[in-house]
């Protein structure tokens, strides 16, 4: 992965409508700015389940907590734009 890659992690769980809405907003921004998305199902890890419980989705950008429950698409785009550096070939 390039040094300037942006990674967004979504801590989520199955059948979570807020999680689906967050993923949709992230996918729309991803159409404009390339970045890596990792979806982490908290139900697969007891520690994550204890940490986040019903407080999902939680979204991290490059390891920093950015959103909880709702993703503001305009705010996400603004944050990604600040980090985004196109590759120069």
Ranges of each domain in the chain: 7-83
Asked whether the beta carbons of 79 and 33 are under 8 A apart, the reply is: no
Query: Domain 7-83 is classified in which CATH homologous superfamily?
Result: Glutaredoxin (3.40.30.10)
- Full-model pTM: 0.89
pLDDT in tens, 11-68: 999 999 999 999 999 999 999 999 999 999 999 999 999 999 999 999 999 999 999 9
Specify whether the CB–CB gap between 30 and 37 falls below 8 A: yes
Parallel, antiparallel, or unpaired for β 58-61 and 36-41?
A: unpaired
- The pLDDT assigned to 1 comes to 44
Contacts of 64 (CB under 8 A, 6+ apart): none
Query: pLDDT band for position 84 (50/70/90)?
Result: confident
Biggest CA-to-CA distance, the chain: 45
The continuous run of DSSP H or E covering 68 comes out as strand 64-68
């Amino acid at each position: 992965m390039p040094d300037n890659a942006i990674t967004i992690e979504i801590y989520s769980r199955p059948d979570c409508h807020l999680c689906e809405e967050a993923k949709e907003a992230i996918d729309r921004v991803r159409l404009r700015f390339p970045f890596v998305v990792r979806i982490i199902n908290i139900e697969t890890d007891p520690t994550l389940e204890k940490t986040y419980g019903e407080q999902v989705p939680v979204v991290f950008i490059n390891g920093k907590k950015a959103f909880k429950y709702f993703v503001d698409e305009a705010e996400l785009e603004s944050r990604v734009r600040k980090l985004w550096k196109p590759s120069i070939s």
